[in-house]
Amino acid sequence: MTAKTYMVGNWKMNQTQAEIESFFSGLSLSNNQNNFWIAPQCLHISKCMDLGAKAGVLIGAQNCSEHEYGAFTGENSVDSLSEMGVHFTLVGHSERRTLFGETDETINKKVLKASQTGILPILCIGETLKEREAGKTLDIVLGQLKAGLKDLKIQNESEVIIAYEPVWAIGTGKTASPEQAGEVHNAIREVLSELYGDFGQDISILYGGSVKPNNVEDLLAQPNINGGLVGGASLKAESFNALCSAC
Ligand code: PGA
């Protein structure tokens, strides 16, 4: 298995222009092989593309529209994102699912649309606390995985990334234990292998949910955890540097 390891910062609706400048000027990334990525607010993509190019950080979006163009006020099309040079887009983050009512069907359309436009989709999946307590974790997570990837064809392992983010661990300070996360990642790996054969062995599966410099190494020690999708701890250069140096 040779799945690549990525550290991806999801800045959500945070960071002023001054904070962005201070973030990039504080970066010092060793062992950088184009595997440290940031998703800022869309408004800041252009600025981050300039600063990221100097720092060797690839830039992505937090969301995209499933529609090509037209009367969809407030949305961003994959064509426009692609023109700006974004490398990837998050799709189906749990905040999009719960706060904005995104369904598996919409999320699947976004995955396909991004992929057709040459933007790498990072499909986010994860169970709520209620679902975990009811013993439904794998049903939910694998169901979201299969629905999100429906009809997606890939030519190699680097055309899609999966992010497993238990909803109860996002922004709460409660991380899944490495064993809890590892178990779900192993199950995701099996489904990816069924769907994509050899490529499925090498698709990167990120873990997200309160990843911090003090827990990242234990998480990355699990065989099928191939990096992190990080909110809070990606906002400051110091902690992003520390997360990246664990890769
Ligand atoms: P967190 O967010 O690291 O702040 O928990 C992760 C995410 O929402 O992607």
DSSP H or E stretch at residue 20: helix 17-25
87 catalytic? Reply is: no
pLDDT of residue 40: 98
Which ligand 1 atom is the nearest neighbour of the CA of 209?
5
DSSP-assigned states of every residue in 87-136: -EEEES-HHHHHHS---HHHHHHHHHHHHHTTPEEEEEE---HHHHHTT-
Per-residue buried b or exposed e for 173-205, using 16+ beta carbons within 10 Å of the residue's own CB: eebbebeebbbbbebbbebbeebbeebbebbbb
**Cα-to-centroid distance, 189 and ligand 1 (Å):** 22
Q: Is 215 in the pocket of ligand 1 (CB under 6 A)?
A: no
In tens, the pLDDT along 159-207 reads 999 999 999 999 888 888 999 999 999 999 999 999 999 999 999 999 9
Count CB atoms within 10 A of the CB of residue 221: 11
Encoded tokens for 166: 């238990």
- pLDDT category, 33, cuts 50, 70, 90? confident
Closest ligand 1 atom to Cα of 163: 9
Q: Using 50, 70 and 90 to split pLDDT, how confident is the model at 2?
A: confident
Between the CA of 232 and the centroid of ligand 1 the distance, in Å, is: 6
Give CA angle at 48 (162, 242), nearest 5°: 60
| 229, 240, 243, best to mutate for ligand 1 pocket (most atoms within 8 Å of CB) | 229
Q: What is the pLDDT of residue 215?
A: 96
pLDDT value of residue 39: 98
pLDDT at 117: 97
| Residues 10-27: tens digit of each pLDDT | 999 999 999 999 999 999
Which of the four pLDDT bands, split at 50, 70 and 90, describes residue 30? confident
Q: Whose CA is nearest to atom 7 of ligand 1?
A: 231
Q: Look up 165 and say whether it is catalytic.
A: yes
Q: How far is the CA of 208 from the centre of ligand 1 (A)?
A: 6
The C-alpha angle with vertex 166 and arms to 165 and 170, in degrees rounded to 5, equals 75
Homologous superfamily of domain range 6-245: Aldolase class I (3.20.20.70)
Out of 102, 127, 157, 165, pick the active-site residue. Answer: 165
* Residues 76 and 64: beta-carbon distance below 8 Å: yes
Residue 160 — φ and ψ, nearest 5°? -155, 150
pLDDT tens column, 70-111: 999 999 999 999 999 999 999 999 999 999 999 999 999 999
Q: Considering the chain, what percentage of its residues have pLDDT values greater than 70?
A: 100
**Number of neighbours of residue 71 by Cβ within 10 angstroms:** 6
Residue 230 Cβ contacting ligand 1 at under 6 Å: yes
Average pLDDT in the chain = 96
166 lines ligand 1 (CB under 6 A): no
Q: Give the residue, by CA position, lying nearest to ligand 1 atom 6.
A: 231
51 CB under 6 A from ligand 1?
no
175, two tokens: 């991380």
Place of tokens 């890939």: 154
**DSSP conformational letter for 189:** H
Catalytic residue among 66, 93, 95, 127: 93
* Ligand 1 atom nearest residue 94's Cα: 8
